[in-house]
Structures are given as C-alpha cells and as structure tokens.
Amino acid sequence: MLSYESKCENLHGHNWIIVVYCKSETLDQDGMVTDFTHIKKIVKDTFDHKYINEVLDVNPSAENIARWICDHVKNCYKVSVQESEGNIAIYERD
C-alpha cells in the first residue's frame, strides 16, 4: 500500500532481474563466499510465483525487495532489483 495514488496500487506483476553481491575476506571450506545454489533457493522460494504483497510485511517495492534479500543472504552486501527496463533499485549496506 502506497501513501499516494498510483497505478501500482492495482494488482500487477513484474519479471524481476535481481543481482546479488556477496563478499568475504575468506572463502569457506568449499572455496566459496556464498554458494549460488543457496542464493537462488532463498530468492526463488520466497518470491517466484508468489503474491509478494503477502510475502513482505512492507510495501513490496524494488527497494524493499532488495533490502529483504540483502538481509537474508549470507555475506550479501548489495542487491540490485530491476523492475523493468530503466527502473533499477540498488540496496547497499555501508
């Protein structure tokens, strides 16, 4: 729900392009920072083919989706979420 009138208040969908950035000073025992399989599982299990308004407890903006992913993926420091061509939100931890 938005604090202003918008066509985005109506039920609609997007084909998101999400980029997850992870970093670490060391690699784990398997030689990875974070296994891509784990990242994909977290993102797809949470958001793929879901009514995102029922998934997040905040406005499901690209910015809030990026923050949620960053908070839930191990070693993540930055996430970009492309909602549509030319509309990209980036959430980055300090």
What does the domain layout of the chain look like in residue ranges? 13-92
Rounded-to-integer distance, Cα 69 and Cα 63, Å: 10
* Distance in Å from the first CA to the final CA of the chain: 28
Tokens of 59: 């406005």
User: What span, in angstroms and rounded, lies between the C-alpha atoms of 8 and 65?
Assistant: 15
Phi, psi for 34 (deg, rounded to 5): -150, 130
The predicted model scores a pTM of 0.84
Check pLDDT > 80 for residue 11.
Answer: no
Contact 74, 34 (CB under 8 A): yes
pLDDT digits (tens, 9 = 90+) for 36-52: 999 999 999 999 988 88
Query: What would the CATH number be for the domain defined by 13-92?
Result: 3.30.479.10
* Short-list 56, 74, 73, CA closest to 65: 56
Q: Tell whether the model's pLDDT for residue 94 goes beyond 90.
A: no
